[in-house]
Amino acid sequence: MTLNRFTRSLWPSAVAAAAGIGLLAGLQNYGVAQEAGQRLPDAALQAAEPAVGLRTATLAGGCFWGVQGVFEHVRGVKHAVSGYAGGSQETATYETVSSGRTNHAEAVRISYDPAVIRYDELLQIFFSVALDPTQVNRQGPDTGPQYRSAIFPSDAEQARVAEAYIAQLEAAKVYSQPIATRIERDAAFYPAEGYHQDFMALHPRHLYIVANDAPKLRALQRFFSERVISEPVLVSRPPS
């Protein structure tokens, strides 16, 4: 467990702002972090998935607070749950995963409506604003394999689309370093503890959120304004 991560868990709830006031608006006065992100090219290979019913996508990009916070503001996303992908159920707890020895990654399982947003479009947002995919076993201040960049496809079609999009980005040389994002098949997902859910929405003034995750949300608004919803879809407040 890193000092940064330990400190994040223990900061008092007095820094929290109530959910439902609009996180995008609430972050305007806290722009201390360097802005990041870009709008990457659309995927050349579109996901072939039925436009009926919900689908799931599981993505890991460092601390799950920020990744969840981004996708809770994406139109067509119905739920985004922070959790642990890979490893076993017995060791899928925050304290144990933080050791870096369980093979889990902090991840977010996204339930989405493919009639509104396709899997490849989720990947475009993920790579554009949610992480730096060139970092190996780390994101920002957090280090260890539990913070790796990874995609956990739920079927062969998702794996095919993910592989094709990574190859497309590599060929376009959109990054100065190789993409380190791994595609990990057949990995289980275990929801994280309740206090991790909706953390970015519930604690927009938390110093870690201000410094590391608020820029991701601003980048989403800047580069994908047509896909942004102002009020997040929260685990604690599911859509009606």
Pick from 110, 38, 104: nearest CA to 69:
110
Sequence-ordered list of residues with C-beta below 8 angstroms from that of 12, at least 6 positions apart, any chain: none
Q: Both tokens of residue 140?
A: 């920002």
- CB of 131 closer than 8 Å to CB of 149: yes
Distance CA 115, CA 47 (A): 12
- CB of 197 closer than 8 Å to CB of 235: yes
The DSSP code for 237 is S
- Give yes or no: 15 in active site: no
| DSSP assignment string, 182-228 | EE--S--EEEPPGGGTTHHHH-TT-HHIIIIIHHHHHHHHHH-GGGB
Single out the catalytic residue among 63, 123, 217, 220: 63
Measured on CA atoms in the order 94, 6, 58, 17, is the torsion positive or negative?
A: positive
Question: C-alpha dihedral over 142, 144, 146, 148, to 10 degrees?
Answer: 80
> Quick check: helix, strand or coil at residue 28?
coil
Catalytic (active-site) positions? 63
